[in-house]
């Protein structure tokens, strides 16, 4: 069973990030991985954080390809991202133009949870868990705005799992 846990991020916190197991990508396959990324973006552009993403379909298609390539590289795939997109991805610098509170990070994670649950019958849970652990930790690096007044613990008193309801099948 995969534990889709959600923890609070603290602005400026930079916890150590451990890359996912390469078996996650191997079992999902690069094509399956890109399909998962595409599905993620279809969900996120309809979410409460849609305003962080472009409305233009062509621009969104480029983001899907670029970020899919980056995530594949992180999961042990080839380094196409570096050759195609001109170097390493600086997560903090890329997102500094946006005000991203922990609440938006949690919504983003919830969208990932929605695309990970359906692959639980295709990929061993330990490998999905390693990807989730990476997402959950990695995403803390982009929190750059403290406007959250309600904590995850406050939300947990009213719901189980994801505070935004993404964990419901």
Q: Answer for the pair 69, 62: CB distance below 8 angstroms, yes or no.
A: no
Q: What is the mean pLDDT of residues 48-60?
A: 93
**Predicted pLDDT at 16:** 94
- The mean pLDDT of the chain is 82
**Predicted pLDDT at 11:** 80
Rounded Cα distance, 62 and 145, in Å: 27
**Predicted pLDDT at 163:** 42
CATH number, domain of 83, equals: 1.10.490.10
Domain count, the chain: 1
Q: Answer for the pair 141, 89: CB distance below 8 angstroms, yes or no.
A: no
Residue 34 is classified by DSSP as H
Rounded Cα distance, 136 and 129, in Å: 10
**Predicted pLDDT at 61:** 95
What single string gives the DSSP state of each residue in 74-113?
A: HTT---HHHHHHTS---HHHHHTTS---HHHHHHHHHHHH
Q: Which residues contact 93 (CB under 8 A, 6 or more apart)?
A: none
Domain carrying residue 142: 22-156
% of the chain exceeding 70 in pLDDT: 73
Residue 5 lies in a domain: no
Does 159 have pLDDT greater than 70? no
């Amino acid at each position: 069973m995969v534990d889709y846990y959600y923890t609070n991020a603290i602005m400026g916190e930079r916890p150590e990030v451990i890359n996912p197991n390469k078996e996650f990508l191997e079992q999902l396959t690069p094509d399956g991985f890109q399909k998962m990324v595409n599905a993620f973006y279809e969900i996120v552009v309809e979410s409460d954080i849609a305003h962080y993403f472009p409305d233009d379909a062509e621009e969104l298609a480029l983001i899907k390809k670029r970020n899919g390539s980056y995530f594949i590289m992180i999961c042990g795939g080839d380094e196409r991202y570096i050759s195609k997109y001109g170097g390493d991805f600086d997560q903090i610098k890329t997102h500094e133009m946006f005000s991203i509170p922990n609440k938006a990070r949690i919504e983003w994670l919830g969208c990932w949870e929605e695309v990970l649950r359906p692959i639980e019958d295709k990929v061993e849970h330990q490998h999905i868990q390693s990807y989730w652990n990476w997402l959950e930790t990695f995403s803390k690096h982009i929190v750059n705005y403290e406007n959250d007044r309600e904590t995850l613990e406050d939300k947990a008193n009213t719901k189980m799992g994801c505070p935004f309801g993404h964990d419901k099948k």
